[in-house]
Structure 1
Amino acid sequence: MDEEIWSGSSSEGINEINIENEMEETENVEVEPENVEVETEDPKVGMMFKSSDEVYEYYATYGKKNGFAVSKKNCKKGGDGEKKYITLACTRARKAIIKTSNPVKLRPQTRTGCKACINAILQPDGMWLLRSLVLEHNHKMSPTKSRFFKQNRILEPHVKRRFELNDRAGIRMNKNFTSLVLEAGGREKLSYLEKDCRNHIDKVHCLRLEEGDATAMYNYFVKMQGDNSDFFYVLDLDGNGRLQNVFWADARSRATFKEFGDVVTFDTTYLVNKYDMPFAPFVGVNHHGQSTLLGCGLISHEDTETFTWLFQSWLACMSGFPPNTIITDQDKAMKKATQIVFPNARHRWCLWHIMKKLPEQLRGYKEYEAIKFGIQNAVYDSLTTEEFEENWGKFIEEYQLHSNDWLLRLYEERHRWVPAFVKDIFWTGMSTTQRSESMHAFFDGYINSKTTLKQFVEQYENAMAKKVENENGEKFNSLNSYIPCITQYPFEKQFQNAYTIAKFKEFQQEVVGKIYCNLSLCSEDLNFSVYEVSEDVPFGESLRLATFTVYLKEDSSETNCSCQLFEFRGIVCRHQIAVLMKKRIHHMPDKYILRRWNKNVKRCHTKVHISYDNSSIKPKARRYDKMFNVFNEVADLATSCDNKCDKVVEQLRELKGELKEEVDVVSGSNKFGSMSTQNA
């Protein structure tokens, strides 16, 4: 690279990230101070209300502040048909009722038998008395996630009207919604979610580097770094000062790397043929199994020099800490750059990219279909490296493919892509770079054929805000619902209490998969046992019997299986579970409850507050938006009849006259002042 403009995240240099490393355990009530209302006082026996509706509004507001939703549990009426007594309860009251025709595909449950409630009774004077209450809840609560509860999500009439008009004008939903987010000052200020808007309205690709984009992007990055010193960017310029490549990562992405930077995928192929500057994201997987962005770039070339520059920029951004493992496609330039910048990282090739090349490389053979089946059998159905060697050799020999250079090169690099060779270490279960592809598709929804480079970077904010919202939604679901256990074994309850819903589902599938297994004891001594577990595993459209070896240490209850699922995905396998059940070991050792999938850990990246939605709003625009929202609320109340409408219009005209007089007075005094100055 000829010239570079480096801008790190602090005055100490680009390698410093001022983010706290220590993690905290989640308390029973998650407290994040911003945006939590504190006006509603706690319920007390003896409180009086004007109506039953007022009782409900009060308790619902209290629930919103404290992180739970409210339902009407009980209501008694008198002989006149009027309400006399009401009970309002937490929506997680009562016990879960599991209704399903498939016992191994259970839906998340929210009910926990929570006893929190209030009881109110009608008094002779028409007032409602709060007679009794229970304040304690038996579940965790998250006040900052209260807006996800259905009762707190309200789509006002003026919002519906606005979406309808914008939809008719051809404005896409994400821009439509983002405009409301900007007006409100953030997603957390809205009383509805984007999916509520999408439910109301039933529902690129060329980046062009235009003149002035480099300067505009530089100014944009400087502003973002001014808002948060941990924002990181690098601009790579050629000898004539023209922008060649760019890399950036916000503070949240940098903090996310500390949590989920162990396994990274990198891929540019999705956008190679659509964009003048390929989009190059670094993507990880969070504890919910979602894709999470760890930084991204826009590059002008796909050669070793460019990839080396990009990888070095990313490494500097992450304080010099490389990933443990990285997945890319077969690109030679990527491979060389990876060896230069990440020499100690385990490098894998994307299996999907390799297998999709079969038609291109082998279609010319008369026995193509049989050859393809032979390759798929060797790759997907070989459970060990020895089995792969045997199966690969068979189809090579049978179809005389010894001279095929492409297959020869694949075989020489088999340790980089064949599942049997790579499952010995942790990859979060990823076999392809589908994470990068899904991230591309995610950003694709925020650009169109006229998007400039500067606009792309600005749209990045909106896309990231949506990613944060998705993660918050999954966090809310994991804290406020659960998948019921399907067995009585305590170790299943262990994982239910510890893991996010997505990861507990994966573990539960292994519990279910135990029914396909049979085991027998091979050897046993004082503290060490070896079991052979046979399992019916899929083979094409049928099943075949496979054998796995499980080693058990009696004193610590630790197990190790030859299938290496735990090493590869971080999920205890069905073979280990079968042995534990056989030995009547009902408590799983702590080493198998991974922090990485734990829903109760307070993650450092969630502490990083990013104002994605309102970073550029000026004071005048803020004041306008504040008034505009109130005007809309008044209009909603006044549209029911002509009298209300006329009253509002009359008062607005009076207010307009008063404000105009004030403006005229100020304008006149300014004019007089300027004239006096001129005369002086």
Structure 2
Amino acid sequence: MAVLSAQLGGYENIGCTEKDLTNYERDKRQKSKGRDAQMLYEHFEEMKELHLTFEYEVKVDEENSLLHCFWADHIARQSYKYFGDVIVFDTTYNTNRYGLIFAPFMGVNHHGQSITLGCGFIHDETTESFIWLFESWRKAMQGESPKAIITDQDPAMTKAISIVFSNTFHRYCIWHIMQKVPEKLGAIAHRDEFIRPFNDCVWNSQTSEDFEDSWEKLMTENGLEDNVWLNSIYAVRHKWIPAFVRHVFFADFIVRFDRALARQRHNELAADHETISRLDYVAEGERENDDIYVYNVFKVARLEENDCDRVVRYEVSKKHADCSCLKFQFKGIPCRHILCVLRRVRIPILPEYYILKRWIRYARVGSIHDNDEVAIKPDCDDSISLCHSNLSQICRLLVDEGSSSKQGYLLAKERLYDILRDV
């Protein structure tokens, strides 16, 4: 009401009371209650028409009431191909208005961000319900099981995983374990006696044997009977927790869920953009003479006080650049200003002048002579580091040129796939 009052210039201009709005919302919910599940089904059908690769499953009881449902759009299914090695499955969310439990499949992308790999609602947390959901999800993922799955310690879930994902490593989530430890020990004992050896056991174990020995000792000393097998696997608990699930109709949920999913995927695109443009420098130059160009190199967005312009002199005949920051002369490593200019003049391979052997991975490999001039001289010109550097420069140039147009993108993509098939 306060918002409407501010928009309309006073409560007297609203034309209804707060009670009227409450009754309207109640009537609206009552009308949608009878066909809420049908609206969810119609939404799935619409998504299937828009994207043929959208997958969903629905299960109803004898009275045609919704028991379980599952869905995964084309982006989720595609993401699983790239990041489906380890997934997090968690049902510790709020139920919706009908008591159905929200059960998302989550993963972690190449930026360390949480991503959604499919979602479902289940009627209860029995083994049969989990089996139905896991089989529906695996079917949508072309029958491929993940390498590892992280869950809480639900016995029914554990049994279902052993049946559906028999070859998948199943590990319990460190977050859930840490939540239960204070309950068993008490807050003071947990803080004073447990947390340090526990952290040392989990994070500092060098082998699985070290972990088992430390864990068994820890359990005995602290009187814990639940021997949770963690191994050396740790997964970052996802931060995307849809609090909007609680007590909402399916129609409301879909709107809010799609909005949250769009925000999640936008964050990934933003991280992609930041990664691509991290070396965000521009070189503006002019010719000094027939062989020398002078470039003013600066960062587009100056985020720090010490961000300042640099002057790079580039000698065409020698393909050599010197920067006023003198980083190469001081550290033996080419600065980002020099790299910016080399990209500007389209030199895809870093000149050997800038690759000092002492900084490469195989710095100790090379020609060694003893007092009798007997030499052991392995050839290090084709070292892995040098090859990686050369290929990285070429690929970066290809990405810059190929992404500038649709035709260039398609051509670059086709040629890269041809190269991958032949390597």
Is the structural similarity TM-score above 0.5?
A: yes
Query: 1:250 aligns to what?
Result: 73
> Is the CA contact 2:96–2:247 (under 8 Å) kept in the aligned structure 1?
no
Can you list the C-alpha shifts for 1:645-672, whole angstroms capped at 9, x where unaligned? Answer: xxxxxxxxxxxxxxxxxxxxxxxxxxxx
Whichever residue aligns with residue 385 of structure 2, its letter is H
Query: 1:587 aligns to what?
Result: 385
Higher relative contact order (CA 8 A, sep 6+): 1
Can you list the C-alpha shifts for 1:186-245, whole angstroms capped at 9, x where unaligned? Answer: xxxxxxxxxxxxxxxxxxxxx999321111111111112112221111111112110011
3-state SS in 1 of match to 2:170: strand
Determine if the alignment matches structure 1 residue 439 to structure 2 residue 240: yes
> Is the CA contact 2:182–2:190 (under 8 Å) kept in the aligned structure 1?
no
- Structure 1 residue 323: deviation in Å? 1.5
Aligned pairs for 1:43-62 (under 5 A) are: none
Determine if the alignment matches structure 1 residue 454 to structure 2 residue 251: yes
> Is the CA contact 1:210–1:453 (under 8 Å) kept in the aligned structure 2?
no
Query: 1:290 aligns to what?
Result: 113
> Is the CA contact 2:97–2:247 (under 8 Å) kept in the aligned structure 1?
no
Whichever residue aligns with residue 225 of structure 2, its letter is D
* Distance in 1 (alpha carbons) for counterparts of 2:195 and 2:70: 40
> Is the CA contact 1:378–1:392 (under 8 Å) kept in the aligned structure 2?
yes
Query: 1:323 aligns to what?
Result: 146
3-state SS in 1 of match to 2:269: helix
The counterpart of 2:271, out of the listed 474, 483, 486, is 474
> Is the CA contact 1:556–1:589 (under 8 Å) kept in the aligned structure 2?
no
Q: Which runs of 5+ in 2 are unaligned?
A: 8-28, 282-326, 341-363, 366-376, 403-423
Whichever residue aligns with residue 464 of structure 1, its letter is L
> Is the CA contact 1:374–1:392 (under 8 Å) kept in the aligned structure 2?
no
Query: 2:206 aligns to what?
Result: 383
* Distance in 2 (alpha carbons) for counterparts of 1:341 and 1:167: 56
* Distance in 1 (alpha carbons) for counterparts of 2:125 and 2:44: 24
* Distance in 1 (alpha carbons) for counterparts of 2:222 and 2:46: 62
How has the CA–CA distance of structure 1 residues 450 and 329 changed in structure 2, closer, same or farther, with 3 Å as cutoff?
A: closer
Aligned pairs for 1:120-519 (under 5 A) are: 210-271=33-94, 276-363=99-186, 369-395=192-218, 399=221, 401=223, 404-406=224-226, 409-410=227-228, 414=229, 417-419=230-232, 422=233, 431-432=234-235, 434-435=237-238, 438-440=239-241, 443-444=242-243, 447=244, 451-482=248-279
- Structure 1 residue 390: deviation in Å? 4.3
Can you list the C-alpha shifts for 1:26-77, whole angstroms capped at 9, x where unaligned? Answer: xxxxxxxxxxxxxxxxxxxxxxxxxxxxxxxxxxxxxxxxxxxxxxxxxxxx
3-state SS in 2 of match to 1:348: strand
Can you list the C-alpha shifts for 1:602-634, whole angstroms capped at 9, x where unaligned? Answer: 9xxxxxxxxxxxxxxxxxxxxxxxxxxxxxxxx
* Distance in 2 (alpha carbons) for counterparts of 1:309 and 1:339: 13
> Is the CA contact 2:40–2:251 (under 8 Å) kept in the aligned structure 1?
yes
- TM-score, normalised relative to structure 1: 0.37
- Structure 1 residue 586: deviation in Å? 7.6
Can you list the C-alpha shifts for 1:4-32, whole angstroms capped at 9, x where unaligned? Answer: xxxxxxxxxxxxxxxxxxxxxxxxxxxxx
* Distance in 2 (alpha carbons) for counterparts of 1:479 and 1:167: 47
- Structure 1 residue 456: deviation in Å? 0.8
Can you list the C-alpha shifts for 1:326-374, whole angstroms capped at 9, x where unaligned? Answer: 1111211121111111111222211111122111112299797314433
- Structure 1 residue 459: deviation in Å? 2.6
**How many residues of Structure 1 are paired with residues of Structure 2 in the alignment?**
290
Can you list the C-alpha shifts for 1:366-389, whole angstroms capped at 9, x where unaligned? Answer: 797314433333223323334334
How has the CA–CA distance of structure 1 residues 241 and 370 changed in structure 2, closer, same or farther, with 3 Å as cutoff?
A: same
> Is the CA contact 1:375–1:395 (under 8 Å) kept in the aligned structure 2?
yes
3-state SS in 2 of match to 1:247: strand
- Structure 1 residue 263: deviation in Å? 1.9
> Is the CA contact 2:102–2:245 (under 8 Å) kept in the aligned structure 1?
no
3-state SS in 2 of match to 1:356: helix
How has the CA–CA distance of structure 1 residues 452 and 600 changed in structure 2, closer, same or farther, with 3 Å as cutoff?
A: farther
> C-alpha root-mean-square deviation of aligned residues, in Å?
4.5
Identity of aligned residues (%): 33
Aligned pairs for 1:605-644 (under 5 A) are: none
How has the CA–CA distance of structure 1 residues 461 and 364 changed in structure 2, closer, same or farther, with 3 Å as cutoff?
A: closer
* Distance in 1 (alpha carbons) for counterparts of 2:36 and 2:199: 47
> Is the CA contact 2:95–2:247 (under 8 Å) kept in the aligned structure 1?
no
* Distance in 1 (alpha carbons) for counterparts of 2:33 and 2:65: 11
Q: Which runs of 5+ in 1 are unaligned?
A: 1-163, 170-206, 423-430, 497-520, 525-553, 558-584, 603-680
* Distance in 2 (alpha carbons) for counterparts of 1:365 and 1:378: 20
- Structure 1 residue 255: deviation in Å? 1.7
3-state SS in 2 of match to 1:288: coil
> Is the CA contact 2:57–2:71 (under 8 Å) kept in the aligned structure 1?
yes
Whichever residue aligns with residue 318 of structure 1, its letter is M
3-state SS in 1 of match to 2:143: coil
Query: 1:561 aligns to what?
Result: none
How has the CA–CA distance of structure 1 residues 456 and 250 changed in structure 2, closer, same or farther, with 3 Å as cutoff?
A: same
3-state SS in 2 of match to 1:464: helix
* Distance in 2 (alpha carbons) for counterparts of 1:287 and 1:167: 47
How has the CA–CA distance of structure 1 residues 344 and 246 changed in structure 2, closer, same or farther, with 3 Å as cutoff?
A: same
- TM-score, normalised relative to structure 2: 0.57
Query: 1:37 aligns to what?
Result: none
* Distance in 2 (alpha carbons) for counterparts of 1:587 and 1:310: 46
* Distance in 2 (alpha carbons) for counterparts of 1:556 and 1:330: 55
